[in-house]
Structure 1
Amino acid sequence: MTLFLASDFANTSEVKRTSPFASEAFPSQGYPQVTISPSHSRTVTTSGQFGIDLSGQIASSFAQQVKLSFRNLAAAVISGGARLEDVLKVTMYVVDYDPSNISSVTEAMAATFGSKIPANTLIGVARLFKPEVLFEIDAIAVLNEESNESSPSEPIKSVDVVIVGAGMSGVQAAYECHKAGLSYVLLEAHDRIGGRARSEVASNLGSGVVDMGAAWINDTSQSEMYKLSQDLGLDLITQRAEGAEIWEYKEGNAFSAPYGEIAVSETQAPEVEKVFGALYAVNPSDERVAADLDSLTFSQYIECTTDDATVRDLAKMISRALMGIEAEVVSALWLVRFIKAGTGIENLISDLKDGAQYQRIRQGMSAFPQRLAQRLRPGSVRLSTPVTKVTQSSSGTCRVETFSGLTFTSKKVILSAPTPVYHKIQFEPPLPASKLLLSNSTLTGYYSKLIFVFSKPWWRESRLSGIMNTTVGPISFTRDTCSEEDEQYSLTGFIVGAIGHKWSLETREERKRLGWEQLKKMYGLVVSSIPEPINILEKEWIKDPWVMGGSCPGMPPGVLTSDAGRSLAAPHQDIHFVGSETGAEWTGFIEGALRSGRRGANEVITALKKQQAD
């Protein structure tokens, strides 16, 4: 037996794992017998997680319940601000334990935690809280409060404005404050600037980049982003809009169609026009209309508009494609307003002039916030600095505390964070009930990208557009995302909604394999020989604890017309709220983020000028 002294781990800065009893007589079974928490840490404890999916269905098989349970546990741990490697202990409960089923558990454990498996206990029970639930798991994790950048003893800094979040809206807000001559600090939880704008080098064969998040603008209705692209000296790439598209409504029933045509029959075309016409004509600013729409899910609204099953499925794809949220759960009012904010459904789904997918940035979308941040005051941006608490005093002073121990005081705070992340910050006094309901009710969509990088654009040689649309999955649609000048040739696949959630249960290697097999199968209908990709990149936004999904949060029925919905962009005393979902124009897009950041900064600048005048 190996003995360890407490002093061996007294100053640890990360979770330690060991098996002091490991020997031939007492094997470790591949997992640690002991885990030791870091010094200066706080505890995160989850409730029991079981095998239920986003639609509320409990998986029928034990193996699938185990996968879903681990997926839900990972989401719970991340939502608490911890990482999976921060988990100290998991406890699992199995109904009528059968040793032959243990492989499902060990495989899910390895897929979730990799090499950093926590201490764990498996308990056999007669039954759980529902007869159909066969497996449940809970966890204890720790948040390491040791600073790796700044000393907690660093003196409190006082500024006019603290901006929380360095995505596009936060950086734009900081830049507006900078131009107004205010003192400010920009705090970002990630180790990078950009938020949902994240660009990566496509492969080791060149410098061309691909976008793992936000990817497009246009030069007309997205006028602010276009002007900024010119101001920052960025190069625009016009989206490929020629060649055939590939469609698949049911598995095994795939076909090609000319670019830009919605692939439906002659009898279904009028039904599509009726749905699009209804979306165009409806007026969500009318209170009675808004109340009616907010009493329905988007699925129910579509079912009231058309009886054609294929057209219904096509219309429901809109919710999935735009937000990664299923039409069965999102408010019809929220989606109709989302569509109106993007200048209409035709433009939202278009790659042509005025369309939402008209232009890409050769340098990548990250270049927008990164280059703009270079214009800020040196030392004003703090990365890897999550905010933990915001206190507002009766004297009009805000105190902002961070995970690293840094503290700032200010006259105003601009919060640029997705609404589902509000709960990770302690507010004193608490946020009003309307804001809390908003944060707790907001739906986060499943939105991921698989980007396949090739040595040549083989689909173009076969006169294909690079567009694929399917209801089968795991990939729901693709786009050509090449940069010819950089010899960067790629197809980007979007994995969204409930299909994406199921796909995410697989290992990273299996997710990539499934996506590639689907792509080969679909494009193989037209192309005789498809080369292997030289690289496959993946980004699952729902697993980012400071984003928690994409591309934009949504709302279920009944929230938007309540006080919660009306509070979306409203300040709370000296805290001002920005972010793409708070904007009335181009909600959920980087254009909306920029405009909201400017709006929030102008609120602050105006208020501080008024205070100074008084």
Structure 2
Amino acid sequence: MTKDINTFHTEVAVIGAGFSGLQAALSLRESGISFMLIEAHHRVGGKSLTTPLTTIDGIVEMGPTWINDKTQPRMYEMVKRYGLGVIKQYLGGLEVIYDANGQAHTYKHGELPPTLPDDQITQLGVITTLLETEAAKFDPERPGCFINNEPPDIPDTSMAEFLSLQGIPEGSISHIYLTVFCRGVFGLETSELGVYFFLDTLKQGHGFRSLAGDDSEGAQFLRIEKGTSTICQQMASELPPESILLDAPVTHIEQRDGGACVVTTESGCTIHCAKVIITVPSHTYHHITFTPPLPPSKHLLASRTLRGHYAKSVLTYATPWWRELGLTGKFNGVGDGPVTTSWELSRPEKGQYSLAVFTTADHYVAHFANSTPEDRKNSIVTHLAKIVGATAGKKIKDAIYNVQEFIEQDWYEKAYIEGAPMAAFGPGDFTRLAPILREVFQNIHFAGTETARVWKGYMEGAIEAGERVAAEIISEMKS
């Protein structure tokens, strides 16, 4: 009797081989539970995408990039576990905000532009304190619920309406700061994002200082020397090779009478198992047919979550022209133009000078639709030249346009990911949708970074969610 090479039997099918799926698989393996890790793409890692340069011996991150050794202990433990080095984010210069009026304001990291009026500085302090105070009321252990069951004193409007209700005028530093924050952290405009989802993320990420920071307290403090994909590859190397199935989009999950599950892939492979873990974003559930169908609550979740408009372009130069201007490479654009925000990704000791430019939210919609990579590159360098202004001089302007290598990644259009950094909720949806995120449906369990109790939308959150969902499975199967 011949064995069907397209049929597999295991205890758990894990769908999605990003950080969450990899961690779930590792945890299951440590408990002696068999599994099959199923990934739609040709590689493990999900949004983690470390890419080699072709013009120089170097790498750049096209997906998540940074960790913090103190506030993100799971990721830092991975770095130590695999003996990887880290690089501190460059802060030796000034950052730039380019406002909607075409004015550039420079300032030191962690400070504010010195030209700001005192009343605007005071207002920013008041509004960020209010938001952090309200964020403290959220209970990450119980999605959609609040500590002591006491909801915030502000309603779950859009962030734009919140700013209006608080009397924050457009063009003020408070409005600019929160606009850039929403675009950078969520890939959404303030008009799209719900206040409660914003607050829950703020709580999970330890506040503004942490989420927006690039220093020792910030989420953008450390880069991984060999890239985040190295961690994913090392995690996968600890798993039996025969337990990983790549290039295998899942098309059907059937839960049969008696508790058996059958997972079918696009190529016709079938995985027979007792439990299923889904780690892919909720807005991609539509790629899978469920038998029986997902409950109405899960359908509502999948239909209501918002996809972040998010693209990342890395421009590599022969010289660090921004450093020559006394800048860090951190440019925040509020008005028209594709530069939403940027960071330096350089390795000076290797002669690599790279600038990562994020184009998100409405900037993405305006600049990534119906355009070519060359169009987008030209649009970015033109915007950068406007930001640095006439004072830069011809030599610097020429350097800005002299891009040695241009690489881009459009996460919104990437199949089976379809948005970044995370699925989000609009106004009024948090308390009804958040409790659904981790709800088990018969023998199907749910993970992924959007379900995390800490650092949702980040690698740290993805790993935490993988740990949590594996613990659910282990508890049931070992009891």
- TM-score w.r.t. length of structure 1: 0.72
For 1:379, the equivalent position in structure 2 comes to: 242
Other structure's SS at 2:440 match? coil
Match of 1:527 among 382, 389, 392: 392
User: Does 2:272 align with 1:409?
Assistant: yes
User: In 1, distance between residues paired with 2:167 and 2:390?
Assistant: 31
Structure 1 residues 485 and 227, CA, compared in 2 at 3 Å: closer, same or farther?
farther
- Measured after TM superposition, the shift of residue 356 of structure 1 is 0.6
For 1:224, the equivalent position in structure 2 comes to: 74
For 1:481, the equivalent position in structure 2 comes to: 345
For 1:571, the equivalent position in structure 2 comes to: 440
What aligned pairs does 1:192-203 form with structure 2 within 5 A after superposition? 192-203=43-54
What aligned pairs does 1:456-495 form with structure 2 within 5 A after superposition? 456-472=319-335, 473-495=337-359
Equivalent pair of 2:66/2:220 in contact (CA under 8 Å): yes
Structure 1 residues 382 and 523, CA, compared in 2 at 3 Å: closer, same or farther?
same
User: In 2, distance between residues paired with 1:413 and 1:354?
Assistant: 37
For 2:260, the equivalent position in structure 1 comes to: 397
- Measured after TM superposition, the shift of residue 299 of structure 1 is 1.4
Match of 1:508 among 366, 369, 373: 373
CA deviation string 1:459-509 (max 9, x = no partner): 223321111111022111111111234332111111010121110122221
Pick the structure with greater CA Rg. 1
Equivalent pair of 1:246/1:254 in contact (CA under 8 Å): yes
Other structure's SS at 2:118 match? coil
Structure 1 residues 486 and 574, CA, compared in 2 at 3 Å: closer, same or farther?
farther
For 1:367, the equivalent position in structure 2 comes to: 230
User: In 1, distance between residues paired with 2:222 and 2:364?
Assistant: 26
CA deviation string 1:216-243 (max 9, x = no partner): 0000010110011010111100001221
Alignment gaps of 5+ in structure 2: 139-145
Structure 1 residues 240 and 439, CA, compared in 2 at 3 Å: closer, same or farther?
same
For 1:259, the equivalent position in structure 2 comes to: 109
**More displaced stretch, 368-377 vs 152-161:** 152-161
What aligned pairs does 1:279-428 form with structure 2 within 5 A after superposition? 279-282=131-134, 283-284=137-138, 285-286=146-147, 287=149, 289-290=151-152, 293-294=155-156, 296-309=157-170, 310=172, 311-428=174-291
**More displaced stretch, 522-531 vs 285-294:** 285-294
User: Does 2:38 align with 1:187?
Assistant: yes
Other structure's SS at 1:500 match? helix
What's the C-alpha RMSD, in Å, of the aligned pairs?
1.8
Residue identity opposite 2:412 in structure 1:
I
Aligned length: 457
- Measured after TM superposition, the shift of residue 317 of structure 1 is 2.3
Other structure's SS at 2:431 match? coil
User: Does 2:130 align with 1:278?
Assistant: yes
Residue identity opposite 1:492 in structure 2:
A
User: In 1, distance between residues paired with 2:104 and 2:213?
Assistant: 22
User: In 2, distance between residues paired with 1:280 and 1:230?
Assistant: 32
For 1:551, the equivalent position in structure 2 comes to: 421
User: Does 2:26 align with 1:175?
Assistant: yes
For 2:85, the equivalent position in structure 1 comes to: 235
Structure 1 residues 604 and 278, CA, compared in 2 at 3 Å: closer, same or farther?
same
Other structure's SS at 1:450 match? strand
User: In 2, distance between residues paired with 1:457 and 1:202?
Assistant: 17
Equivalent pair of 1:234/1:362 in contact (CA under 8 Å): yes
Match of 1:590 among 459, 462, 468: 459
The structure whose RCO (Cα within 8 Å, separation 6+) is larger is: 2
- Measured after TM superposition, the shift of residue 569 of structure 1 is 1.2
User: In 2, distance between residues paired with 1:467 and 1:155?
Assistant: 50
User: In 2, distance between residues paired with 1:276 and 1:157?
Assistant: 52
Other structure's SS at 1:210 match? strand
Other structure's SS at 1:200 match? strand
User: Does 2:450 align with 1:581?
Assistant: yes
User: In 1, distance between residues paired with 2:376 and 2:470?
Assistant: 41
For 1:149, the equivalent position in structure 2 comes to: none
CA deviation string 1:301-326 (max 9, x = no partner): 22223433322243222211111011
Other structure's SS at 1:268 match? helix
Residue identity opposite 2:77 in structure 1:
K
- Measured after TM superposition, the shift of residue 288 of structure 1 is 5.1
Over the matched positions of the two proteins, sequence identity in percent amounts to 32
User: Does 2:115 align with 1:250?
Assistant: no
Equivalent pair of 1:199/1:365 in contact (CA under 8 Å): yes
User: In 1, distance between residues paired with 2:244 and 2:358?
Assistant: 32
Equivalent pair of 2:180/2:332 in contact (CA under 8 Å): no
Residue identity opposite 1:419 in structure 2:
S
For 1:268, the equivalent position in structure 2 comes to: 120
- Measured after TM superposition, the shift of residue 265 of structure 1 is 2.7
CA deviation string 1:528-583 (max 9, x = no partner): 32321101111110110111011111111232211x32111121111111111101
Structure 1 residues 585 and 211, CA, compared in 2 at 3 Å: closer, same or farther?
same
- TM-score w.r.t. length of structure 2: 0.92
For 1:117, the equivalent position in structure 2 comes to: none
User: In 1, distance between residues paired with 2:109 and 2:52?
Assistant: 29
Residue identity opposite 1:351 in structure 2:
D
Residue identity opposite 2:425 in structure 1:
M
- Measured after TM superposition, the shift of residue 260 of structure 1 is 2.6
CA deviation string 1:116-135 (max 9, x = no partner): xxxxxxxxxxxxxxxxxxxx
User: In 1, distance between residues paired with 2:272 and 2:220?
Assistant: 41
Alignment gaps of 5+ in structure 1: 1-151
Residue identity opposite 2:436 in structure 1:
S
Structure 1 residues 159 and 460, CA, compared in 2 at 3 Å: closer, same or farther?
same
Other structure's SS at 1:289 match? coil
User: In 1, distance between residues paired with 2:404 and 2:225?
Assistant: 20
Other structure's SS at 1:300 match? helix
- Measured after TM superposition, the shift of residue 168 of structure 1 is 0.5
Equivalent pair of 1:209/1:362 in contact (CA under 8 Å): no
Residue identity opposite 1:308 in structure 2:
P
User: In 2, distance between residues paired with 1:354 and 1:482?
Assistant: 21
User: In 1, distance between residues paired with 2:227 and 2:390?
Assistant: 32
Structure 1 residues 525 and 193, CA, compared in 2 at 3 Å: closer, same or farther?
farther
Match of 1:451 among 295, 305, 314: 314
User: In 2, distance between residues paired with 1:224 and 1:455?
Assistant: 36
User: In 2, distance between residues paired with 1:348 and 1:578?
Assistant: 22
Equivalent pair of 1:583/1:596 in contact (CA under 8 Å): yes
Structure 1 residues 484 and 290, CA, compared in 2 at 3 Å: closer, same or farther?
same
User: In 2, distance between residues paired with 1:155 and 1:493?
Assistant: 43
For 1:73, the equivalent position in structure 2 comes to: none
User: In 1, distance between residues paired with 2:14 and 2:153?
Assistant: 35
User: In 2, distance between residues paired with 1:372 and 1:525?
Assistant: 49
Other structure's SS at 1:600 match? helix
For 2:9, the equivalent position in structure 1 comes to: 158
Residue identity opposite 1:353 in structure 2:
S
